[in-house]
């Protein structure tokens, strides 16, 4: 890997400046990315599909647009999409055997928004199957490896997105977060991740896992990059009834605002016995940075937050059991050989097409919705969800943003948590609350523990992305954790 | 809470998932653990708390104008179909 | 299908009726009517809803349940459901919720049907029906909810295979769930026809039963007369004609009575009516997966309806059949029966009013012509009101010539037939065929004299007391005048002449 070509700048902001100044063309930049992807793929397995030809054509078109004076701030910037987003004419697998040969006839709204902004798609990123997992080990296309140590998981489900950005194969990637699937891998790979408010970006064309929790977002090197890319992928979409019809603010405009007077709430429940001591130390240090920046820090309590994992493992499987019923081997997707009858077509196509974790969640969800269990599980969980949301609302009465760790530990070994689903599910103990309440949240690199990245989590009230990106950006101006890359990939 | 083999078989049937003989005990074990874990919710005091089906409170369903906006793209859509003929999706004979 | 908890809660027990064949039994029927809403596009997508397109050419990504797609609600479907609710005096829910009904079937692309469960858009309405014998009965409507239709399975021409056409998938439906208030097939039909009339009045459904736009499931049970508990019900699926509903219910009632009387037990199940054999049979395939796992659809938000919206819809409602019929009785002196027949179709009612307005008198005569020959010819030629060559002006012209005694009622029928074929006005036909009525006293007397002269024997018999021969003389004079003699004048003059 000594011959690994390096990118001319680590960030989208830097690359956009280089393109603007004519230091290199988008075609040159795209080639460099494709070279790094080719070199990195055997070690990391971050991509499911690389669209080299399409990328170069799009890069050429971007260069032409620039020559014609029609370039926007992101024209010609190469990015990659999590393979959960439908991309017209390009295989969209969702990390599953079920969709291994599925070519989407349409673009997700997030994809078309970023395309319209001039970005160049490099390919589709690996992920846990149907976004169900916290380690990227459930992908039909094999696990993604952590660029900081290939024996470790990158986190999940957006593990391909996080690993590709961490290894600087791509400057930025789209991702999705249902229970922490952007923030946890961002933390474990030492990159920046943002999950916007539920409804901020359209879910149209994003293959559904749990519809009331799923939200599209980004994995980037810096908060500034997230601010640059978030606008074009956000906003009201008439095709998504749950997307919110309110204007998207100019996130760049407020990025540099002072943090003087900002109140940060440190969530007591996040500092539980499960939190690794070194990780806790890094979070405390980050709090000190914020105090230096003029923020007021106070402790707050969200007493119901410890119930977020069991709540999630009722609500998310319930919705997924229904969302994944459309994969029946009839109109698209895997179909078993020589079905004997209709029942056989269904059960064998689905039994063969879905992996073990997906089947586990479908069965869990089928059970909690079934007659006799609906009230005790599904309705009960939705009531507890209300309590958790109310806890957050109370906290935001006194604070602008909440703060805590993203994940209880740094990256763990591939295979370490595969045997017990509960242990795996508890990885998301600090991230799930924001999904249940629909809140925007971020993870920022805030140092290392045992040589591995640690993530700091920020959570804001609904539609506070601007303030949250501002707080993240100011922190990243004071620190350089986000610019650290694993030495082999630097 | 502990699930039995029969429970797993019934759930799998309802979910239309064929399980191998080897998979069944694995799911008996893991689903039992999951339901023991989510059983924690039972203790939460939720009297008088309404269920929250949607993360943003107070929003209303938007209504679309009654306009035909789609054209026939059957051939494109059926490229993903495992079995289609004469424009129809094919399945083994359905007996009612 | 509606949630089972909504059915079986009968409150309105008025007007019990004889059940089928055995007076020791009482039949209990509730109907679930599915009416396709006459929107241009589907309930959750922009695909066309037109009937009869080539398979799957009106099925877009949303209708096919493609990965990643989402539903967006058609506002017109909501408006139409509200129309229906207001027309039956129901409560319009200020907040209603879409739910998923989960089951696997090849004509159901997503593996769930988007429907409404706990919070339907319309609840607690009532319809009054008038039975053949004039008895009025109120049928409770538990609820009416919005949902999407499924696709179609085609079994012909594909050996060992079923072909799936999803053009119909996503067509908006309202499912109208009645209370178990009906006590005979006759009542069920009267209720179903009433709903059929109403949805067409409102313009929310074309009512085309052959194309499946209007169809129903019937929940049927029997119990010993006087029993308080309902018997176990069977649900008969997909009845798409009034005749099938009647036959299926009557078959099912007899089946259940025979079963119980021979010591058996009715099981709660779904049954399919086979029109060829005239019987119902168990649909075991539907029984296996009867746990629908309803839950609120997270892809759709609650439908919130402001009072102002509901009132705006109310302001657009047409005069409804019952109000129109009452007005016809009150203003035009028609019988309940005539008013009911005329108002069963909004178009016929409008046609009648048009004719009446043009004639300016004789509402009963106008009604007879609209309900009689005009309707009979429409039926014979399978035409809609507007498609006939006889329009309201033409029919009014004909009736006017009866009123002013230019022609007799009998001749009018002949004229009408000619008008129907040619599209000519009544006056033109009368002139052309020389059918003007003879009202000239002298001419009629001359004809009478001639008949009397030709039939001296009959004249003698009549004069000796055979009164019955009066009819003979009327007939002969009519014959002699080509049927054109004014009947009233003829009677009067003939009586005088015969008396000698």
CATH of the domain at A16: 3.90.1300.10
Q: What is the mean pLDDT of residues C469-498?
A: 87
Residue C3, pLDDT > 70, answer: no
Provide the 3-class DSSP secondary structure of residue C280: strand
Output Rg (C-alpha) for chain B, integer angstroms: 23
Residue C489 has pLDDT above 50, yes or no: yes
In a domain, residue B79? The reply is: no
Select the residue from C36, C46, C104 to test the B interface by mutation, using most B Cβ atoms within 10 A: C46
Q: Which residue has the higher pLDDT, C168 or C156?
A: C168
Q: Is residue A120 part of a domain?
A: yes
Q: Which domain holds residue A230?
A: 12-256
Probe site for chain C from A131, A324, A325, A364 (most C CB atoms < 10 A): A325
User: By the CB < 8 Å criterion, does A330 face chain C?
Assistant: yes
Cis omega before residue A35 (within 30°)? no
How many contacts (CB atoms, under 8 Å) link A and C?
A: 99
How many residues make up chain A in this entry?
490
C262-286 burial, b if ≥16 CB within 10 A, otherwise e? Answer: eeeebeeebbbbeeeeebbeebeeb
What domain range includes position B13? 5-43
Place of tokens 């396709």: C36
Residue B77 lies in a domain: no
Q: What is the mean pLDDT of residues A279-297?
A: 98
Distance CA A7, CA A22 (A): 15
Q: Residue C20 pLDDT > 80, yes or no? A: no
B88 lies in some domain: no
Looking at per-residue pLDDT, the higher value among A231 and C226 belongs to A231
C contacts of B70 (beta carbons < 8 Å): 45-48, 58, 60
Q: C230: pLDDT confidence band, cut at 50, 70 and 90?
A: very high
**pLDDT reported for residue C289:** 52
Inside any domain, residue A137: yes
As for how many domains chain A has, the answer is 1
Active site residues of A: 82, 157, 181
B29 domain-assigned: yes
Whether A176 and A131 have beta carbons less than 8 Å apart is answered as: yes
Q: What is the pLDDT of residue B96?
A: 64
The C-alpha of A321 sits at a distance from chain C's nearest C-alpha, in angstroms, of 9
Joined tokens for residue A315: 């609500």
Q: Are C122 and C108 in contact (CB under 8 A)?
A: no
Q: What is the pLDDT of residues A204-252, one digit of tens each?
A: 999 999 999 999 999 999 999 999 999 999 999 999 999 999 999 999 9
Q: How far is C143 from chain B (nearest CA, A)?
A: 21
Instruction: Please report the pLDDT score of residue A1 as a whole number.
Output: 45
Q: Are the C-beta atoms of A212 and A315 separated by less than 8 Å?
A: yes
Name which of A124, A207, A206, A208 is nearest A160 in CA terms. A124
Give the H/E segment covering residue C101. Answer: strand C98-102
Contact (CB, 8 A) for A454 and A283? yes
Residues of chain C contacting A207 with CB distance shorter than 8 Å: 67-68
Q: Per CATH, which fold does C441-499 belong to?
A: Arc Repressor Mutant, subunit A (1.10.10)
Q: How would residue C411 be classed by pLDDT, with cut points 50, 70 and 90?
A: confident
Neighbours of chain A (3+ CB pairs under 8 A): B, C
Distance from CA of C252 to the nearest CA of B (A): 18
A190 with C50: CB under 8 angstroms? no
Q: Does A342 sit within 8 Å of B14, measured CB to CB?
A: no
- Minimal C-alpha gap between C70 and chain A (Å): 6
3-state secondary structure of A111: helix
Q: Cβ contact (<8 Å) for A240 and C70?
A: yes
- What is the value of ipTM here, to two decimals? 0.97
Q: Which of A86, A330, A369 sits opposite C295 (nearest CB)?
A: A369
Which class for A271: exposed (0-12), middle (13-18), buried (19 or more C-beta within 10 A)?
Answer: middle
pLDDT surpassing 80 at residue C17: no
- pLDDT band for position C6 (cuts 50, 70, 90): very low
Collapse the DSSP code of A388 into the 3-class scheme (helix H, G, I; strand E, B; otherwise coil) and give the result: helix
SS3 assignment, position A470: helix
CA distances from B43 to A307, A314, B38, B39, C229 (A): 10, 15, 10, 8, 39
pLDDT over 60 at A384, yes or no? yes
Q: Running DSSP on this structure, what letter comes out for residue A437?
A: H
Average pLDDT over residues A149-158: 97
What mean pLDDT is reported for chain C?
Answer: 90
User: Quick count: other Cβ atoms within 10 Å of Cβ B94?
Assistant: 18
Residue A201: strand, helix, or coil: coil
C163, C272, C291, best to mutate vs chain B, most B CBs in 10 Å: C163
Q: For residue A45, what pLDDT is reported?
A: 98
pLDDT of residue C5: 32
The percentage of chain A sitting over the pLDDT mark of 70, rounded to a whole number, equals: 99
Residue at B80 is within a domain:
no
Give the C-side interface with A, CB within 8 Å. 61, 64-73, 100, 102, 104, 106, 109-112, 162, 164, 291, 293-295, 298-301
How far, in Å, CA of A212 to CA of A381, rounded?
13
Q: Which residues in chain C have their CB less than 8 angstroms from residue B17's CB?
A: none
Of A241, A386, A425, the CB nearest to B50: A386
Average pLDDT over residues C98-108: 97
* Residue whose C-alpha is closest to residue A388's, from A307, A322, A462, A319: A307
Q: Is the pLDDT of residue B48 over 50?
A: yes
- What number is the average pLDDT over the span B31-39? 96
What integer is the mean pLDDT of A268-286?
96
**Which chain C residues touch A378 with a CB distance below 8 Å?**
295
Query: Where is A227: in which H helix or E strand?
Result: helix A223-233
Contact with chain A for residue B44, Cβ under 8 A: yes
CB contact under 8 A, B63 and C78: yes
pLDDT at A5: 82
Task: For residues C219-226, give the mean pLDDT.
Answer: 94
Q: Which residues of B touch C46 (CB under 8 A)?
A: 64, 67-70
Confirm whether A224 is domain-assigned.
yes
Domain positions in chain C: 4-312, 345-433, 441-499
Q: What band does C406 get if pLDDT is binned at 50, 70 and 90?
A: confident
Q: Kindly report the number of other CB atoms within 10 A of residue B2's CB atom.
A: 11
pLDDT exceeds 60 at position A166: yes
Nearest 5°: phi and psi at A8? -65, -20
**What average pLDDT score do residues A47-55 get?**
98
Mean pLDDT of C231-246: 92
A132 within 8 A of A180, measured Cβ to Cβ? no
Contact C155 B65 (CB under 8 A): no
Q: How far apart are CA A287 and CA A296, in angstroms?
A: 10
Enclosing H/E stretch for C294: none
Average pLDDT of the residues of chain A: 97
Q: In sequence order, which ranges of C136-274 are alpha helices (DSSP H)? A: 185-202, 242-261
Mutate which: A242, A384, A392, A460, vs B, most B CBs within 10 A = A384
pLDDT of residue C164: 98
Interface residue B4 vs chain A (CB under 8 A): no
Backbone phi, psi, residue C306, to 5°: -80, 150
For the record, the structure tokens of C433 come out as 């065929």
Does the residue B72 lie in any domain? no
A120 contacts A80 by C-beta, under 8 angstroms: no
| pLDDT for C286 beyond 60 | no
Mean pLDDT of chain B: 95
The predicted model gives A302-321 an average pLDDT of: 97
Q: pLDDT tens digits, residue range C353-386?
A: 999 999 999 999 999 999 999 999 999 999 989 8
- Tell me what pLDDT residue A490 has: 85
Chain C stretch 299-328, residues whose beta carbon is closer than 8 A to a beta carbon of chain B? 300-304
Looking at residue C374, its pLDDT comes to 95
Shortest alpha-carbon distance between residue A437 and chain B (Å): 5
Mean pLDDT of C307-329: 96
So what's the pLDDT on residue C285? 52
Give the burial class of A56: count Cβ atoms within 10 A of its Cβ; 0-12 exposed, 13-18 middle, 19 or more buried. middle
Partner-chain residue, chosen from C72, C109, C300, that has the shortest CB–CB distance to A326: C109
DSSP state of A249: P
Does A50 fall in a domain? yes
Lowest-pLDDT range, A85-99, A196-210, C275-289, C382-396? Answer: C275-289
Q: Is residue B35 part of a domain?
A: yes
In a domain, A357, yes or no: no
Q: Is B14 inside any structural domain?
A: yes
How many independent structural domains does chain B possess?
1
- CA–CA separation, A362 and B51 (whole Å): 22
Mean pLDDT, residues B68-80: 97
Strand ranges in A268-392 using DSSP code E only, listed in sequence order = 296-300
Question: Is residue C8 pLDDT above 80, yes or no?
Answer: no
**Looking at the predicted structure, is the pLDDT value of residue A304 above 90?**
yes
Distance (Å) from the alpha carbon of B24 to chain A's nearest alpha carbon:
11
pLDDT score of C67: 98
Structure tokens at C137: 């009965």
Smallest Cβ–Cβ distance between C68 and the set A206, A327, A371 belongs to A206
């Amino acid at each position: 890997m000594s011959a690994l070509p390096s990118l001319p700048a680590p960030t989208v902001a830097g690359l956009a400046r280089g393109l603007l100044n004519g230091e290199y063309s988008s075609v040159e930049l795209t080639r460099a990315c494709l070279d790094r992807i080719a070199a990195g793929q055997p070690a990391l397995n971050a991509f499911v599909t690389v669209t080299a030809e399409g990328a170069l054509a799009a890069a050429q078109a971007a260069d032409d647009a620039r020559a014609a004076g029609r370039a926007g701030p992101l024209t010609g910037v190469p990015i990659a999409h999590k393979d959960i987003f439908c991309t017209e004419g390009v295989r969209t697998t969702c990390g599953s055997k079920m969709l291994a040969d599925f070519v989407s006839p349409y673009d997700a709204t997030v994809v078309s928004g970023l395309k319209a902004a001039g970005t160049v798609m490099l390919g589709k990123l690996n992920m846990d199957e149907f976004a169900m997992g916290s380690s990227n080990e459930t992908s039909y296309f094999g696990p993604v490896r952590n660029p900081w140590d290939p024996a470790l998981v990158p986190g999940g489900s957006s593990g391909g997105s996080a690993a590709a950005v961490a290894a600087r194969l791509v400057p930025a990637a789209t991702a999705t977060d249902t229970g922490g699937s952007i923030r946890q891998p961002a933390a474990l790979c030492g990159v920046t991740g943002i999950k916007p408010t539920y409804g901020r970006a359209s879910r149209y064309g994003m293959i559904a896992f749990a519809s009331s929790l799923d939200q599209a977002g980004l994995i980037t090197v810096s908060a500034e990059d997230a601010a640059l890319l978030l606008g074009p992928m956000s906003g009201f979409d008439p095709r998504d009834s749950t997307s919110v019809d309110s204007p998207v603010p100019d996130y760049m405009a407020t990025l540099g605002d002072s943090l003087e007077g900002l109140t940060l709430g440190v969530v007591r429940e996040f500092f539980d016995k499960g939190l690794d001591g070194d990780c806790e130390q890094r979070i405390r240090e980050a709090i000190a940075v914020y105090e230096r920046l003029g923020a007021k820090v106070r402790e707050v309590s969200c007493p119901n937050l410890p119930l977020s994992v069991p709540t999630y493992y009722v609500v998310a499987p319930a919705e997924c059991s229904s969302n994944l019923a459309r994969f029946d081997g009839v109109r698209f997707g895997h179909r078993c050989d020589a079905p004997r009858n209709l029942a056989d077509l269904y059960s064998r196509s689905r039994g063969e097409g879905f992996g073990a974790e997906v089947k586990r969640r479908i069965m869990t969800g089928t059970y909690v919705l079934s007659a006799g269990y609906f009230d005790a599980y599904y309705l009960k969980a939705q009531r507890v969800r209300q309590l958790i949301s109310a806890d957050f609302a109370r906290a935001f009465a006194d604070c602008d943003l909440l703060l805590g760790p993203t994940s209880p530990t740094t990256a763990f070994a591939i295979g370490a948590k595969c045997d017990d689903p509960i242990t795996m599910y508890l990885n998301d103990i600090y991230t799930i609350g924001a999904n249940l309440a629909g809140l925007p949240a971020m993870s920022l690199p805030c140092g290392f523990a045992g040589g591995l990245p640690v993530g700091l989590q920020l959570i804001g009230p609904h539609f506070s992305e601007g303030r949250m990106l501002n707080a993240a950006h100011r922190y990243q101006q004071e620190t350089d954790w986000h610019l650290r890359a694993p030495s082999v990939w630097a | 809470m502990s699930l039995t083999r029969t429970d797993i078989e019934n759930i799998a049937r309802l979910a239309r998932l064929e399980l191998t003989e080897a998979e069944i005990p694995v799911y008996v074990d893991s689903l039992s653990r999951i339901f023991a874990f989510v059983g924690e919710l039972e203790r939460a005091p939720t009297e008088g708390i309404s269920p929250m089906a949607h993360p943003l409170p107070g929003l209303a369903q938007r209504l679309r104008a009654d306009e035909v906006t789609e054209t026939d793209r059957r051939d494109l859509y059926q490229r993903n179909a495992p079995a289609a003929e004469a424009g129809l999706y094919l399945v083994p004979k359905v007996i009612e | 299908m509606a949630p089972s908890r909504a059915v079986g809660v009968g409150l309105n027990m008025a007007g019990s009726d004889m059940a089928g064949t055995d007076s020791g039994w009482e039949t209990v029927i509730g109907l679930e009517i599915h009416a396709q809403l006459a929107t241009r596009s589907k309930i959750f997508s922009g695909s066309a809803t037109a009937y009869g397109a080539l398979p799957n050419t009106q099925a877009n990504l949303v209708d096919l349940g493609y990965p990643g797609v989402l539903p967006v609600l058609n506002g017109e479907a909501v408006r139409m459901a509200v129309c229906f609710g207001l027309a039956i005096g129901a409560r319009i829910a200020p907040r209603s919720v879409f739910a998923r009904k989960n089951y696997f079937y090849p004509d159901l692309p997503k593996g769930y049907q988007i429907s409404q469960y706990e919070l339907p858009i319309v609840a607690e309405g009532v319809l009054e029906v008038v039975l053949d014998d004039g008895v009025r009965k109120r049928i409770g409507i538990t609820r009416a909810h919005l949902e999407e239709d499924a696709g179609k399975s085609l079994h012909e021409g594909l050996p060992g295979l079923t072909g799936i056409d999803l053009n119909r998938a996503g067509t908006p439906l309202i499912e109208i769930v009645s209370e178990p208030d009906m006590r005979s097939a006759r009542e069920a039909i009267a209720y179903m026809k009433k709903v059929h009339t109403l949805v067409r009045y409102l313009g929310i459904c074309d009512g085309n039963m052959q194309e499946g736009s209007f169809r129903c499931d019937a929940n049927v049970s029997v119990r010993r007369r006087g029993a308080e508990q309902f018997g176990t019900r069977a649900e008969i699926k997909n009845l798409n004609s009034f005749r099938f509903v009647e036959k299926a219910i009557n078959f099912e009632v007899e089946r259940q009575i025979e079963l119980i009387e021979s010591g058996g037990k009715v099981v709660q199940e779904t049954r399919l009516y086979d029109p060829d054999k005239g019987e119902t049979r168990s649909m075991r395939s539907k029984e296996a997966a009867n746990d629908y796992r309803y839950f609120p659809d997270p892809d759709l938000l609650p439908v919130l309806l402001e009072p102002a919206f509901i009132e705006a819809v109310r302001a657009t409602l047409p005069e409804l059949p019952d109000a129109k019929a009452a007005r016809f009785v009150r203003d035009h002196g028609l019988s309940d029966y005539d008013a009911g027949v005329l108002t069963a179709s909004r178009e016929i009612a409008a046609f009648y009013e048009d004719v009446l307005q043009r004639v300016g008198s004789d509402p009963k005569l106008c009604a007879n012509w609209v309900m009689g020959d005009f309707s009979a010819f429409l039926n014979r030629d399978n035409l809609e009101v507007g498609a006939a060559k006889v329009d309201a002006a033409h029919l009014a012209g004909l009736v006017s010539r009866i009123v002013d005694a230019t022609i007799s009622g009998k001749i009018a029928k002949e004229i009408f037939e000619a008008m129907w074929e040619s599209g000519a006005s009544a006056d033109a036909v009368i002139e052309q065929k020389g059918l003007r009525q003879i009202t000239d006293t002298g001419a009629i007397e001359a004809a009478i004299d001639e008949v009397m002269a030709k039939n001296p024997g009959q004249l003698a018999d009549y004069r000796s007391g055979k009164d019955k021969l009066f009819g003979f003389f009327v007939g002969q004079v009519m014959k002699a005048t080509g049927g054109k003699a004014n009947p009233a004048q003829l009677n009067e003059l003939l009586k005088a002449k015969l008396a000698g």
